[in-house]
Amino acid sequence: MKRIIIKNFGPVKYFDMEIKKINILIGPQASGKSTIVKSIYFMDRIRRLTLKMIQDMKGEEDVFHFLRNLNKRIRKEFVLAFGTTRHMERFEITAYFNDENFIQLFLDNERWVKIYYSESFVKTIDSLKKLFKKYVSLKLKLLENPFDEKSRNKSFFILTNIYKEINSFFDDVNNSLFIPAGRSVISILGDNILELKDKIDLFLKEYIEEISNIKEFFNMSIEDLVENRKKLSNEKIDFRKISIASDLIKKILKGYYVYDKEEKLFFDKNKYVKLNLASSGQQEALWILNIVFIYLLFNRKSNLIIEEPEAHLFPNAQKDIVKLVSLYSNISNNKVFITTHSPYILASFNNLIFAGNIYSNGKKVPFIEKDISINFNDVNAFMISLKENYSILDEEIKQIKSEEIDQVSEILNKEYEKLLNLELKNE
């Protein structure tokens, strides 16, 4: 996705952002930050829904009514994500995948979600319908004879070509993962959280499923995971970056995570604490860290949306989690979206941007790795409020505007000066 425009959706009256590698939203609670990133995540999922629709086709009727069926699936997913629409005001959410390709969701007068596809998407689907029919025909053949290797290979070839065309419309083959706030609850409940999957929203459900998928990898220490990967993988992996990531993770957690029927944080080989008894900061940060580590280790491409990475973390740990996220974003085509209340998160990003400016001038920064530094042109930073949303980037000095980083400190300092003046007057 290249751009998102949101009009009159929840607390967001108007928001327009060109999406870059690192996208940061800061602002008070209930101002619309979560609404924006959830909208981005949902619009990004339409590619996956489209591919799943193609896989699920069973006959020519599914081919003929493909867009109608896709509309139904998108509406159903929208309700799972955002709830019923009967009480909502009329809104528009438009995702641009390039200048010509876009998909728009809007609410009609009857309070039903409508989907509008750009002409290029409709043409893409129409042009693929012959391949759709061939694919469905081969699926039926394979149901009659699962051992028909020729039909299986032909089916795979056709599906690959279909996927290629669909992905070219969306211009991004990366899936997205939404990492919500309130992560400590998942750490406390452990495997029991799976029992709640049918009672929670779409965002949390998919996050829990991803944790369940990767948890089994952590049956050993981080060092052993890396060594196994070195021995067993033929892929080209930058283990220097992996080393930087593992050092940051151990620094933030004050140890490392292991899952051996129980979830534990080890401080050394013999000392550990069960995860549900660990600090709230460790519980909140854990699955941000584990997910980023596994994605780095296995070269998995995914856009990450992280709500409040600073939750319950000391400022030094906030600084280190920003470094880890920046390292991840520097891997090709991985986008990161951050919502935050913390001036330390913004200040940490600012330092990495400053380091990137220095590196771009051919100089070195001995205390910040180049792989962690950030190119200013790859960054978005927005202040989100109920009154207005605006960029807080200073294009002239290539930094996030310092006066926006910690307005509260300025207010507190002025209040302190008033108190001091009042005390002096009373003497």
Structure confidence by residue, pLDDT tens digits, 336-363: 999 999 989 999 999 999 999 999 999 9
Confidence of residue 408 (pLDDT cuts 50, 70, 90): low
Stretch 91-115: mean pLDDT? 94
Task: List the domain range (segments joined by +) for residue 12.
Answer: 3-173
How do residues 362-381 score in pLDDT, each as one tens digit? 999 999 999 999 999 999 99
In a domain, 425, yes or no: no
In a domain, 397, yes or no: no
In a domain, 80, yes or no: yes
Residue 274: is its pLDDT beyond 80? yes
In a domain, 79, yes or no: yes
Split into its structural domains, the chain has a count of: 1
Return the pLDDT at 109.
Answer: 87
Query: CA-CA distance, 231 to 214, in Å (whole number)?
Result: 20
* Of 193, 222, 225, residue with least CA distance to 209: 193
In a domain, 245, yes or no: no
Is 332 or 371 the better-scoring residue by pLDDT? 371
In a domain, 364, yes or no: no
In a domain, 90, yes or no: yes
* Of 54, 52, 48, 15, residue with least CA distance to 31: 15
pTM check: above 0.85: yes
Query: CA-CA distance, 262 to 276, in Å (whole number)?
Result: 10
In a domain, 236, yes or no: no
Return the pLDDT at 194.
Answer: 60
How do residues 227-240 score in pLDDT, each as one tens digit? 999 988 888 888 99
Residues 44, 45, 47: CA angle, nearest 5 degrees:
85
Query: CA-CA distance, 144 to 138, in Å (whole number)?
Result: 10
